[in-house]
Structure 1
């Protein structure tokens, strides 16, 4: 017989957003393992960062923002040098953060299903079963890679993989690679792969490049766009359409090599490549789908949070609260998907959830 652990709040996920929530729960006077329990499916601290490709350094990530109460530095060097591998530095920082604030995360624990048995949630995770009054879900997107379906995909004789599967450009040496996607990860991988072999770049929209870092106004516009969508119950959209892609020195070199000569989206996949509506075709050995991720929320399906269009109507100060069930907050969904957004959202979610629970 499985013992059910009773607690006030369950936090699912211990990446940037989950740790931020844990910090603010602790600051509010709640005790970990008593008043709140933190669960994470990863084998070690670091969230999705621990699985990123080795060539992703602190100089190529968008930026790793400080978690509340502790400055981000590489705990091995005491600094944040740009050459440090992100998949090593960020997990070290998260591990030190958990230790400093005594955030005893239970891992590896994979939550299979969450059911609402009002006034409590039942969270089933193998041999771990929680009964909680409130829920902060911070499972992010890494476990939900998105690959769009195109006619003929099953016929392709080469290899198809997603950004999540990428490790190093060297494995593609001598192969013809099609990179699909117009986001930051797409152009970073395109740059690397184009230095060792021939590439073709394909996107749905014409990419927009900018010469300098976007300012506060553009950043606020990007967040506002995504926030507006989730408040209306629409699926979160990409912010790249607002911010554009920063034309770094590396990308300028890729442009000079011809690697940024973008083609529009093909209409079908063939056994040896792809084809467009006008009959034009390109042969390929590999199709790399840099097409992003979706929110990993399958375990919340019994709560029936999604509307007909697949989105979730969100409200609250920073759009972290599920409008239909204020005892549920989603971090890393919509405007809280960025590292800085996750920090602010953690505080807002904790404040609003405690207000809801205290009023019942």
Structure 2
């Protein structure tokens, strides 16, 4: 069965909900198709101790402030899931859960969205699938020979399952630092990074990061000197658990190893370390496989965009994948503005 609507939004996490909010305000008929069976997007699948970088008021979607979590300055993932579920219900967003989008194809004046429960014909499509379903692990010699447990950030849950184990955490970003801090004192931890950790100043959180990302985009749009944005400040936000582990002397790093052995890792100088598990906190790639038939992807798997609009397919918008689809657009507070601009462009297209 093929159904019709003006806009199909693919993904019902924070970016998809922000798009739905602005489309609804403009009176644009749309449907949100979400692969998750329940509300909350990727926040349903994070590790237990994860906290936001920002206080609740600075981690809100358009139109609805996130409530403060009792006893917490920085809300946990479960609080975010509850907020997103309430947001979806409050604005009566037309979301269908448990629907997997298989492909998007051109169909004359429409885009055809094929799913595991039928297809949709739409005049525009917003892709808001994020990156969580596409974890990246670098090609490192010996990975297949290693006999211990290998997992990515997305598979990490809690430190207790690694109690007393020799664990190597790979990655010098926020996930690597937070998981290393989570394991410190419970596991025999080795934290490996490509360069020494660059902590942001302790008083910097998501509020300042959003301001810096926005200032950089404004400077670039106005032809002024690149401010460097968030990257100029450092790689790791010193959230309270990371700060506590660092200040207690529990977070030390070693440079990246050259290969894995059957029982651990080896560095360039021949030094070895045994490991029961290796946790790869090495980032993600955008989840864009559903666009293969459109043949739009270029360097590094990105689709060229102007704002959120795909340059080679003006009926397609990409939202929430990072700065290339809007400054800080992969964050709760940052996605609101590009979602608004996206909805306005679609309104112009439909008119």
TM-score tier, shorter chain, comes to 0.7 to 0.9
> How far off is 1:308 after superposition?
4.2
The residue that corresponds to 1:92 in the other structure is 82
Q: Give the Cα–Cα distance (whole angstroms) in 1 for the partners of residues 14 and 331 of structure 2.
A: 9
Match of 1:150 in 2: 140
Further displaced range: 63-72 or 7-16: 63-72
| Separation in 1, partners of 2:76, 2:265 | 34
1:348 partnered with 2:336: no
1:69 corresponds in structure 2 to 63
Alignment of 1:27-106 (within 5 A): 27-30=25-28, 35-57=29-51, 60-62=52-54, 65-73=59-67, 79=69, 81-82=71-72, 86-106=76-96
CA distance in 1, matches of 2:240, 2:100: 41
- Please give the residue correspondences for 1:307-326 in structure 2 after superposition, counting only pairs within 5 Å: 307-315=298-306, 319-326=307-314
Is the contact made by 1:122 and 1:130 (CA closer than 8 Å) also made in structure 2? Answer: yes
Task: Specify whether residues 289 and 14 from structure 1 end up closer, same or farther in structure 2 by C-alpha distance, changes over 3 A only.
Answer: same
Query: Aligned equivalents of 2:96 and 2:157: distance in 1?
Result: 28
User: 1:106-154 deviations in whole A, cap 9, x for unaligned?
Assistant: 1110101111223111111112210111011101111111111101000
Give me the whole-angstrom Cα distance separating, in 2, the residues matched to 1:85 and 1:224.
Answer: 26
Q: Matched residue of 2:301: which SS?
A: coil
Structure 1 unmatched runs, 5+? 230-236
Structure 2 vs 1, CA of residues 309 and 138 (structure 1 numbering), >3 Å: closer, same or farther? closer
Report Cα offsets for 1:242-293 as digits up to 9, x if no partner. Answer: 4432334533442355432211111111111111122122111110001111
Match of 1:306 in 2: 297
Deviation at 1:104, TM superposition (A): 2.5
| Secondary structure in structure 2 of the residue aligned to 1:155 | coil
Give the direction of change, closer, same or farther, for the CA distance of 1:226–1:176 in structure 2 (3 Å limit): farther
Evaluate the alpha carbon distance shift between residue 220 and residue 172 of structure 1 in structure 2; reply closer, same or farther with a 3 A threshold: same
TM-score (structure 2 length as normaliser): 0.88
Q: Which residue of 2 aligns with 1:22?
A: 20
- 1:203, 1:226 → 2: CA distance? 29
- Tell me, in whole angstroms, the C-alpha distance in 1 between the residues paired with 2:208 and 2:49: 31
* Number of aligned residue pairs: 336
Cα distance change, pair 228–145 in 1 and its aligned pair in 2 (3 A) = farther
- C-alpha displacement of 1:169: 0.2
Specify the alignment match of 2:224 in structure 1: none
CA distance in 1, matches of 2:330, 2:218: 11
User: How do 1:138-177 residues align onto structure 2 when only pairs under 5 Å count?
Assistant: 138-177=128-167
Q: Per the alignment, in what secondary structure is the counterpart of residue 130 of structure 1?
A: strand
Pair 62,18 (structure 1): closer, same or farther in 2 beyond 3 Å? same
**Structure 1 segments (4+ residues) deviating >6 Å:** 224-229
Note if contact 1:176-1:199 (Cα within 8 Å) is conserved in structure 2.
yes
TM-score, normalization by structure 1: 0.86
| Structure 2 segments unaligned to the other structure (5+ residues) | 221-227, 324-328
- Alignment match of 1:10 (pick from 8, 11, 14): 8
Classify 1:248/1:100 alpha carbon distance in 2 versus 1 (closer, same or farther; 3 Å). closer
The alpha-carbon distance between structure 1 residues 252 and 63, as it changes in their structure 2 partners (threshold 3 A), is closer
